[in-house]
Amino acid sequence: MAFELSGEHLIIKETIKDFLQKECSRETARELEKREEIPNNLWSQISDIGFFGLTVPEEYGGEGVNYLGGLITIEELAGISPSLALSFMCSAFTGGGVIVKMGDAQQKEKYLEKLARGELVFTSALAEEEKGLSIDTLKTSVKVEGNELVLNGAKCLVTLAEYANYFIVLANNVSSVENKNSVTLLIVEAGSAGIKINKMKKIGVKAAGAYEIIFKDVRVPEQNILGGKEKLNHGREQYKELLDIQNMCFAALQLGIARGAYEYARNHAKERVQFGQPIIKFDAIKEMLLELAVEIDACQLLVYRAGSLADLDKPFSRESGMAISYSLPLVKKAASQCIQICGGYGYALEYDAQRYLRDAFAVPINGQTSETVNERTADLVGL
């Protein structure tokens, strides 16, 4: 068993670190949160370095599918700007990335080259205001009419919706009695007639804006059913595959936030002098940091294991589940201890510790939420 990253993965890590140092410092990240946006130039810079190609096969102009490389990217970005990491993840993995895994030949041909170049932005529109992510009670519906599907309903808290060119939408096919409650995943063009987008306000990851999307009689061609028209009513299995991808990405995001908070607190503890010595010399502070350092490394191993298995085309549901289940309490613990170690500075809005705390809550209530994710992981582990 190898515990070293390959040369290729080390280069990816260094490239991202270099990008962050030059283009997205802590100050820039703080500024993005104030402005509540990821500016186009930052998005283009990420594209130019080739980050979006990390989930796209070479035949479609990508770097070759490299899940581990993508997870490393999410982790590193999240240490400085969780919003940038979340936005990258939404487009490259849970949006466009699902086309790599589940799209048919035509869809891959149409979307992937532009996804790899960062010219198309994708996001997944799954959750609903009333029902969250309960797949059994989806209110958003489609009806088949000839070779089109008519989409009605609303999705909430969708990241990047205002910037996205396409949404991956989870809907219930209500065309006939037999098809009742038959879930379908669709690729919906954001510019379609009948779509309305409203911005929602939130307490963290503000630069990765959240939006409500309302669909009113939106006509979607049947070739936009994810995987092709024969995949009508196959959304339930596809959604499980999407969750496996989403879970390891969220685990990487939380790992990055936890590590960012830990490094911030450690640096503060080395510099802050109280009672004649840097506070890191006090056992209580040192123990808090040591515990975090060990848990962050353990989390990293779980995340990298899931990504490595995905790259080997081996089953990774269980490993992806374990990685997210481990990262959920860790991110909250790291962010809250960061505040504790930074003392009054941790509580002040001028400094970053409080930002880590606000951002740390984004994932445990995103996607499947802590409680439901753990239920699924317990299932995958065989409990």
Ligand X SMILES: Cc1cc2nc3c(=O)[nH]c(=O)nc-3n(C[C@H](O)[C@H](O)[C@H](O)COP(=O)(O)OP(=O)(O)OC[C@H]3O[C@@H](n4cnc5c(N)ncnc54)[C@H](O)[C@@H]3O)c2cc1C
Which residue's CB is nearer to ligand X, number 10 or number 365? 365
Would you say 279 and 272 are in contact if contact means Cβ atoms under 8 Å apart?
A: yes
Work out how close the CB of 166 gets to ligand X at its nearest, in angstroms, rounded to a whole number: 13
**127 or 214, CB closer to ligand X?**
127
Nearer Cβ to ligand X (248/341): 248
- Reduced to 3 DSSP states, what percent helix, strand and coil does the chain have, rounded to the nearest 5? 60, 15, 25
Residues 146, 28: Cα–Cα separation, whole Å: 50
Any contact of residue 379 with ligand X (CB under 6 A)? no
Residue closer to ligand X (CB basis): 27 or 136: 136
Count CB atoms within 10 A of the CB of residue 37: 17
Q: Which residues pair with 219 in a beta bridge?
A: 150
- Binding to ligand X (CB under 6 A) within 119-148 occurs at 123-127, 132-133
Residue 361, helix vs strand vs coil:
coil
Tell me the window of 45-53, 186-194, 348-356, 362-370 that interacts with ligand X (CB under 6 A).
362-370
- Establish if 165 lies at the interface with ligand X (CB under 6 A): no
Determine the Cα–Cα distance for residues 54 and 16; give it in Å rounded to an integer.
Answer: 13
Among 365, 378, 379, 381, binds ligand X (CB under 6 A): 365
Closest CA to 292 of 269, 261, 254, 250: 261
Q: For the chain, what is the total number of helices (H) and then of strands (E)?
A: 12, 9
Site string for ligand X, 290-329 (x = CB under 6 A): ----------------------------------------
367 binds ligand X (CB under 6 A): yes
Termini Cα distance of the chain: 27
The CB-of-88 to ligand X minimum distance in angstroms stands at 13
Give the nearest distance from C-beta 152 to ligand X in angstroms.
17
How many angstroms separate the CA atoms of 185 and 343, rounded? 47
User: Could you tell me the CA-to-CA distances from 344 to 38, 94, 172, 272, 340 in Å, in that order?
Assistant: 30, 38, 50, 12, 8
| Closest among 214, 222, 233 to 145, alpha carbons compared | 222
Cβ of residue 271: shortest distance to ligand X, in angstroms? 32
Q: Name the residue nearer to ligand X (CB basis): 195 or 280.
A: 195
CB 294 within 8 A of CB 258: no
90 binds ligand X (CB under 6 A): yes
Nearest-approach distance from CB 257 to ligand X, in angstroms: 12
Tell whether residue 372 is a contact of ligand X (CB under 6 A). yes
159 binds ligand X (CB under 6 A): yes
Q: Which is nearer to ligand X, 90 or 188 (CB)?
A: 90
Considering the rule CB under 6 A, would residue 366 count as an interface residue with ligand X? yes
The reply to whether 97 sits near ligand X by the rule CB under 6 A is no
Q: Which tokens sit at 322? A: 């374990």
Residue number with CB closer to ligand X (125 or 190): 125
Shortest distance, position 78 Cβ to ligand X, whole Å? 13
369 near ligand X, rule: CB under 6 A:
yes
CA 200 to chain centre: 18
Give the nearest distance from C-beta 130 to ligand X in angstroms.
8
- Distance of alpha carbon 286 from alpha carbon 283, whole angstroms: 5
Of 115 and 341, CB closest to ligand X: 115
Rule CB under 6 A: is residue 213 a binding residue for ligand X?
Answer: no
Eight-class DSSP state of 352? S
Q: Which of 101, 99, 137, 143 is nearest to 121 (CA)?
A: 99
Of the pair 200, 312, the CB lying nearest ligand X is at: 200
Strand partners, 273: 278
> Residue numbers of the site for ligand X (CB under 6 A)?
90, 123-127, 132-133, 155, 157-159, 202, 205, 210, 362, 365-367, 369-372
